[in-house]
Amino acid sequence: MEIFLDTGMVDEIREAAKWGVIDGVTTNPSLIAKTGRSQADVIKEICEIVDGPISAEVIATDAQGMIKEGQELAKIHDNVVIKLPLTEEGITACKWFSDNGIKTNVTLCFSVNQAFLAAKNGATYISPFIGRLDDIGHDGMQLIDEIRTVYDNYGFTTKILAASIRHCTHVRDAMMVGADVGTMPINVVKAMFKHPLTDKGLSQFLADHAKANA
């Protein structure tokens, strides 16, 4: 499973990029708003740090507006992926982008039927939001599992990008059900490194080494 960082904060991206495990970045209007900068500036800078797919979301809600905005975003860098909401207008725009060779990430997906429509129109990525489904008492991971089955049944190549990941158990479960990508905040990536037995074992090794070499 590829790991994308879900943030607009370039310092975080720089820090995580050093570990060598980050394959791409996703942003959304809320994450960009937190930076206090323009989306174009943030996306440009991210593209200089990470050589992989970088999702930038449109604000327009009509297909023509999304196409216009997406074309401008796509000019920023070859790695820019146009993020579109899962609405009739977003799915219409998705078809235009796939027909014109521009990569898309269809976002705010909460059902397998929605994921099916995005794949039919050639979405590069579908983003089911696990955490937000869990928040309302649904089972986010079950949705990833269902989409995996449906995409495999029909041979769709749209990549399943598990989004709204909140903790390491989400990451583990997303890998177990075959998500292609997981996008997550930096604290979740940091937590993936951790295990108390690793820390305990390392302390012991270092203590034994120091004793033997005292």
Closer CB to ligand E4P, 163 or 197, in the complex = 163
Instruction: Report the nearest approach of ligand E4P to the CB of residue 135 (Å).
Output: 8
Task: Determine whether 200 is an active site residue.
Answer: no
Distances (CA, A) of 121 to 143, 152, 154, 207: 20, 16, 13, 59
Closer CB to ligand E4P, 60 or 153, in the complex = 60
Instruction: Report the nearest approach of ligand E4P to the CB of residue 153 (Å).
Output: 25
Coil, helix or strand at residue 61: coil
The candidate with the shortest Cα–Cα distance to 59, out of 39, 79, 78, is 39
Instruction: Report the nearest approach of ligand E4P to the CB of residue 4 (Å).
Output: 8
Instruction: Report the nearest approach of ligand E4P to the CB of residue 114 (Å).
Output: 15
- Catalytic residue, candidates 44, 83, 159, 211: 83
Distances (CA, A) of 154 to 77, 111, 147: 32, 17, 11
Footprint of ligand E4P (CB under 6 A): 6, 26, 28, 107, 127, 129, 131-132, 163-164, 183
Written as six digits, the tokens of 67 are 């196409």
Closer CB to ligand E4P, 104 or 183, in the complex = 183
- 160 touches 179 (CB < 8 A): yes
- 146 touches 125 (CB < 8 A): no
Active site residues: 83
